[in-house]
Structures are given as C-alpha cells and as structure tokens.
Amino acid sequence: MAVNVEVVRSRSGGATETSAGELTPFAERAMIQVGEASALTDGLLALVNSVLAAQAAGTLKSPAGHGAGSRIELMI
C-alpha cells in the first residue's frame, strides 16, 4: 500500500508531467489495499473487544497448567 501511495504522491506532485492514465493503476491498487487493511483492522478490533468483554464478564478461560497466560480461550 505504501509503495502505491508513494508512487501517486511523487508522480503527481513533482515537476514531471504525468497523465492521469499513468497514475490510475497505482491509485486503484492503493485504494484496494487501504480497504483490505481497514477490514483487517476492524476484524482485529472486534476480536480484541470480544476478549476484553469476556475478561470483564469473567468468562475468559485459560487452559490449566499455563500460568504464564500464553493461551486464552474465548467462547462466543
């Protein structure tokens, strides 16, 4: 994503004359990648919120024998 955004930024803002047709593929890929990153972030936030809610409700379970808390179980 960062590469596509940087290509669009550098080619559109410089002294060189770049047509919209040359920028469109990079801009479209960046747009798709931002959407994918946003969806992944939303999913991660939903998972973290579920874990925090389960912890607050006292329903978060950890397997016996794992005192270090290296694993958790979330019942949804």
> What pTM value is reported for the model?
0.58
Question: For residue range 11-57, what is the model confidence (pLDDT) as tens digits?
Answer: 777 656 667 778 888 888 888 888 899 999 999 999 999 988 988 88
DSSP secondary-structure letter at 14? S
Question: Read out DSSP for 52-67?
Answer: HHHHHHT--B--TT-T
* 29 lies in some domain: yes
Backbone angles phi and psi of 8, in degrees to 5? -60, -45
* 52 lies in some domain: yes
- Domain of residue 28: give its range: 2-57
| Number of domains present in the structure of the chain | 1
Question: For residue range 34-43, what is the model confidence (pLDDT) as tens digits?
Answer: 889 999 999 9
